[in-house]
A and B are shown apart, each in its own frame.
Chain A
Amino acid sequence: MRGYLLRRLLQAVVVLWAAFTVSFVVLYLLPGDSLSIRLGGLEGTATPAQIDAVRAEYGLDDPLYLQYAHALGDALGGDLGRSAQTGAPVVRTIADALPQTLALTGCAMVLAVLGGGAVALAATFTRVRALRQVLLSLPAIGISMPGFWVGLLLVQVVSFQWGLLPAMGNEGFESLVLPAITMALPAGAMIAQVLAKSLTTELAEPYVETARAKGAGRVRIHLRHALRNASLPALTLAAVVAGNLLMESVVVETVFSRAGVGRLTAAAVDTQDLAVVQGVVLLAAVVFVVVALVVDLLYPLLDPRVGRTV
């Protein structure tokens, strides 16, 4: 087990390094002059001497491999550079915005799992054909709706027509509800789709027949036997779903005017603040790696057969 853990940790480090490298290549090597971005549109008024000074300060005169080595060395020490917009360290900027977004993402994840799971369970449990058809078509509809539109519709109806929940802001739990629902919709639809499919497969397995022959009720078979096995394929999606949820915050936080990583990302893209964008890319990679690792560690607990082969 310890060897396995070590190997997985090493893999995680390699993925993070590769994500750093890919984002470095994408952000700093593409056409688009990083110098003029760092000057913040002042290149028209700056004297050649000033431009040279900025070049030297950021190490832009160095050959590329040196720039890369420098950036990588700094990143290893926990320094991802400074925001071109505010001048604050990128790591701190993101860390400050993170709690808000994590709370939102967490709520959305819970909603998505509960909602998606409920739809999948109901669709495979019911014997009414029409209801089954309706329930099975819900995920397809959920996936097809633009998140920002759903958010605006919710604001329109719940906040303005019914006057129930705040339309924007970060204050209190109430302001969390609408954004969380908006965010949970595509993720929940994805979970429902995968879970319904694997539940259908599992319910056709011989062990279900056996359980029925031994006198287990439908609910018991559904929840204790089929769901446990069917949740494994859905669980492998968790890392992708978590990453997508996190990034859905870019749209959702903009719609609901909330502070957080999403707003920060949108603003950074808007001002072409490349250091912050790279920081967010690394954050997403960390989330992916961590969730994938946790899922891998949970797997043997859910399915004892997996543990033996490790």
Chain B
Amino acid sequence: MTTATGFGARVVPAARGHAWFVVRRPGLLLSLVVLALVLLAAVFPTLLADGDPLVGTPRERLQGPSGAHLFGTDQLGRDLFTRVVHGSSLSLRATVVAVAVALVVGGGLGLVAGFVGGWLDAVLMRTVDVVQAIPRLLLSLALVSALGFGTTKVAIAVGVASVASFARVMRAEVLRVRSSVYVEAARASGVRSGAILTRHVLPNASGPVFVLAALEFGVAILSVSALSFLGFGAPPPTPEWGVLIADGRGFVATAWWLTTFPGLVIAATVLSANRVSRALDGERRRER
């Protein structure tokens, strides 16, 4: 890795180790490339497709994939590739919001439950048990019907539906760290509980929660796109992955590319996200 030499001598061996770890696993490498492309599409969509996702040429409507239109065109003559590329920003933003909500709220609840203990812990964890008895998709749907429609609301609903599992993992980790010797030492030397929580418990307990967040990424993409497909996300002209497939649904018999390509992009993104998070999980486990 030539770019790594600029980081300073201390970082280079580690970076080289990581690079080697990735290169030896072609699947992981491919996953990283896919994620990088999706990220590029989300941040700088014009680099990959410079057309307008909302304007089409009616003369070129419903054309199959070709050199000019990689993914073909839809019923209004809009280039599907452009729409998929421009849609990734919205889909990805919703996914990040969902994971962030789950991480912050779930992690926070787990932290409080584990650290405070007592009746608060009991009440929180029994609630978590009950919430986990309800399928996540249904929980998201119930939240959407209460909150209203729109991509952000869908994202929040998907995130809240995952709060329970984050709270559970965080609490288990906090309980493990809380009984460790260094926390006892900190307490014995008079450190206040707030400081123990932020300086000692949080950094040492958050590892598995971040791994869960990485895994959650794929789940959130699927949930967000499913809810958008059902029509609870962005309103139609906006390009979004789930919405694109819903739009193409009416043309399943005549224009196969309208549903096939956006779905392929979703599947590839989820598969890559899952592969990368599995690698993160495995690496962590080996370090211990």
Please list the residues of chain A having a beta carbon within 8 angstroms of any beta carbon in chain B: 15, 18-19, 22-23, 26-27, 30-32, 140-141, 143-149, 152-153, 155-156, 160, 167, 239, 243-244, 246-248, 250-251, 254-255, 265-266, 268-270, 272-274, 277-278, 280-281, 284-285, 288-289
Contact = CB atoms under 8 A, between A and B. Distances in A.
A146 B263 contact: yes
A247 B262 CA distance: 23
A285 B133 contact: yes
Which 4 pairs of residues, A with B, have the shortest CB-CB distance?
A149-B263, A247-B135, A18-B130, A144-B270
A289 B145 CA distance: 24
Contacts of B230: 250-251, 254, 266, 269
Given A147-B226, A274-B146, A248 B134 contact: no
Main secondary structure, interface of A, reads: helix
A18 B144 contact: no
A247 B137 contact: yes
Interface in B210-262: 218, 222, 225-226, 229-232, 242, 245, 248-249, 252-253, 256, 259-260, 262
A149 B245 CA distance: 7
22 contacts: A18-B127, A22-B131, A30-B147, A144-B218, A145-B270, A146-B222, A146-B225, A146-B263, A146-B266, A149-B245, A152-B245, A153-B263, A167-B252, A239-B133, A247-B136, A251-B230, A274-B146, A278-B142, A284-B135, A284-B138, A285-B130, A289-B133
Nearest to B258: A152
B222 A281 contact: no
Contacts of A248: 137
Nearest to A265: B141
Nearest to B264: A149
Nearest to A239: B133
Given A32-B148, A160-B252, A160-B253, A148 B226 contact: yes
Contact of B126 (A18, A32, A273, A285): A18
B271 interface: yes
A256 B41 CA distance: 32
Interface string B34-58: 0000000000000000000000000
Contact of A140 (B135, B249, B259, B271): B271
A141 B271 CA distance: 7
Of B137, B147, B148, most A-chain CB atoms within 10 Å: B137
Contacts of B218: 143-144
A280 B252 CA distance: 30
Interface of B: 126-127, 129-131, 133-139, 141-148, 218, 222, 225-226, 229-232, 242, 245, 248-249, 252-253, 256, 259-260, 262-263, 266-267, 270-271, 274-275
A144 B274 contact: yes
A284 B142 CA distance: 12
A150 to B, nearest CB: 8
A246 B126 CA distance: 24
Given A18-B130, A32-B146, A153-B259, A148 B137 contact: no
A248 B271 CA distance: 20
A26 B256 contact: no
Nearest to A29: B146
B137 A244 contact: yes
Given A145-B267, A148-B229, A152-B252, A26 B135 contact: no
A243 B138 CA distance: 9
Given A144-B218, A288-B133, A265 B225 contact: no
Nearest to A288: B133
A152 B133 contact: no
Nearest to B226: A251
